[in-house]
Amino acid sequence: MPVVREFKLPDLGEGLTGAEVVRWMVEVGEVIAIDQPVVEVETAKAVVEVPCPYGGVVTALYGAEGEEIAVGAPLITVAVAPAEGAEALVAAEAAAAAAVAAERPLVGYGVAEPAKGGRRARVGVAPVTAAAPAPAAALTLVPAPVAVAAPVAPVPVVVPVISPLVRRLAREQGVDLTALTGSGPDGLIMRADVERAVAAKVTAPAAAASATAAASAAASAEGVIPLRGLRKAVAEKLSRSHREIPAATCWVDADATELMALRRQLNATPGPKVSVLALLAKICTVALDRFPELNSSVTEDGSGIIRHSVVHLGFAAQGERGLVVPVVRDAHLRSTDQLGEELGRLTEGARTGALKPAELTGGTFTLNNYGVFGVDGSTPILNHPEAAMLGVGRIVAKPWVHQGELAVRQVTQLSFTFDHRVCDGGTAGGFLRFVADCVEQPGMLLRQL
């Protein structure tokens, strides 16, 4: 007898508690191979394909497209045949389909039939063990399995499932198939069963539809937009950061004229072009080596401080899915050119939504260049559980006193937000002043290398 194996949603990345179903890649009744991708989900970090570790016949899918599933919750169940193998399951499934098709052409088994637009309709297959029916939350639209007499020969038993036409009729008429008792063989729900349910409850679906329409109209009138996917994950993380971290912010204006001149000199020579972000990233790694207290985080229970030995530099990037924070691993070991190359790669990945969860987690410090939006200052919320973030405003020509005379210089505002539990204002101020000095006199970096 086949054994139904349940695959639960795994932890797809650091700190993630769930994922939203974007697209199912398999159908109930389909035969899948071990480690075949079965669903595409969206987390707070990225859109990823999730492979199933079991091979066999899909018996249930949990969660509709757009629905969020918690980590550790059931994702899919698969009927695995330890002895006979997947081929036996397919053969038994085909035989059962032929038997029911002969009984009535509106019902079927197993593998889904093609639907309009090339998308296959989902066909439910009940779990094959009589004592373990699929949970009600599954997408399998089937009656509870019934006891099946042991056959003479030990062959896999496949319970008949509902025809796509019957499911469509039920969906259009608002009939809950899980509440019906089928009149067909082995409790199979037939078209007549659905029609009787419609006749018996002719007023109920209309009332439910009216209430749903009224609620939808009210929500639309108020302009309510549900928090879903990445937006929901960002909201939860920022709320936690604001709630748990006693953050403080200090800021200073800096003359970036010499930094911009250095960038022009570097880009005048053959080789990769150096971005302002790469120069700022290099300044951050040098500053964190000088002030290691700020490359840290507080333990989950708040009883201690974790001092990180490496700098994994996160930076805010705006992509198709919204704001994300890609992470440059071991930024302290990279040259300015190497930082620029990795920043460029990650920025492009953020723009197209192609970054993996591992590239969006594990940061120890964040660089936030909000100057690209044309603003001067900000008091950002820390990227939990990090303890500090450097913000950089736009670099713009302003009146500035330079060498005792009024001049027009390229000026930027630097802001620094930090977790007051890891250090006091003196350390934070020292860090920010050092960064500002490096921006104004980039030659200072040579003493630190």
CA 123 to CA 27: how far, in whole Å? Answer: 7
Distances (CA, A) of 151 to 93, 155, 317: 15, 7, 61
- At residue 432, what is the residue type? L
Are 159 and 138 spatial neighbours (Cβ–Cβ below 8 Å)?
A: no
CA 286 to CA 294: how far, in whole Å? Answer: 12
Is 384 one of the annotated active-site residues of the chain?
A: no
Map tokens 């003196």 to a residue. Answer: 426
Q: Residue 409 is encoded by which pair of tokens? A: 């210089």
Which residue among 312, 384, 402, 420 is the active-site one? Answer: 420
Cα 265 from chain centroid? 41
Distances (CA, A) of 283 to 81, 116, 374, 375, 417: 59, 57, 22, 21, 17
Nearest in space to 54 (alpha carbons), one of 89, 21, 22, 19: 89
According to DSSP, the β-strands at 365-368 and 313-315 are: parallel
- At residue 225, what is the residue type? I
Are 368 and 376 spatial neighbours (Cβ–Cβ below 8 Å)?
A: no
Angle between helices 257-267 and 276-290 (to 10 degrees): 120
What DSSP line would sit under 44-87, residue for residue? SS-EEEEEES--EEEEEEBS-TT-EEETTSEEEEEEE-TTT-HH
Q: Residue 133 is encoded by which pair of tokens? A: 């029916």
Task: Write 129-138 long-range contacts (CB < 8 A, 24+).
Answer: 129/1, 129/2, 129/3, 129/4, 132/4, 134/59, 134/60, 134/77, 135/60, 135/62, 135/74, 136/178, 137/62, 137/74, 138/60, 138/61, 138/62, 138/74, 138/77
The catalytic residues are 420
